[in-house]
Structure 1
Amino acid sequence: MRTTEVAKSVRKPTNLSLDSALLKEAKSLGINVSRSAEAGIAEAVKLHKRSKWLNENAEAIESSNAYVEANGLPLARHRQF
């Protein structure tokens, strides 16, 4: 079986302005500040994309919910639970 290689992302050096006390504490705890900042930014991007998707699809979601409210779940008679 062939293993799939995970493509490594290209890292770009960046300057950030951080609270100096927080940075000092993070370093004293051995926290990788770059990786932690990247994880925080990734989470912010994920939340923003989720929010944007929900806003863009609010009408369709509302319509689907209204349909289920009025008519029940499609194919509900086939459910075994």
Structure 2
Amino acid sequence: MHHLYDEKAAKKPTNLSINSDLLTKARQLNVNLSATLERALESELRRAEQAAWKRENHKAIDELNRLAEENGLFSDAYRKFG
């Protein structure tokens, strides 16, 4: 499986500035800020990598779609849906 980052890398302390009310409410609810930020960053990295891959491969994708439109797909004869 392709990992976006080294999940075993050491943790590094970081200073952040966030909305004070948001921080207060998160602390009141015992939200794990580090884990929440890591999940959010992973999600954003995944989204950014997917967008980059689509940009880098758009010509090939367009060409494959054009070929499929012109010639159909190998599996068309076996499709049971319309």
Assess same fold via TM > 0.5: yes
- After TM superposition, what 4+ stretches of structure 1 lie above 6 angstroms from structure 2? none
Matched with 1:44 is 44
TM-score of the superposed pair, with normalisation by structure 2: 0.80
1:1-81 matched pairs, under 5 angstroms: 8-77=8-77, 79=78, 81=80
Which blocks of at least 5 consecutive residues in structure 1 are unaligned? 1-6
Q: TM-score, normalised by structure 1?
A: 0.81
CA RMSD between the two structures: 1.6
Task: State the aligned residue count.
Answer: 74
User: Which protein, 1 or 2, shows the higher relative CO under an 8 Å CA cutoff with sep ≥ 6?
Assistant: 2
Percent identity of equivalent pairs: 34
CA spacing shift, 1:80–1:62, aligned 2, 3 Å: closer
Gap regions ≥5 residues in structure 2: 1-6
- Mapped to 1, the partners of 2:10 and 2:30 lie a distance apart of 24
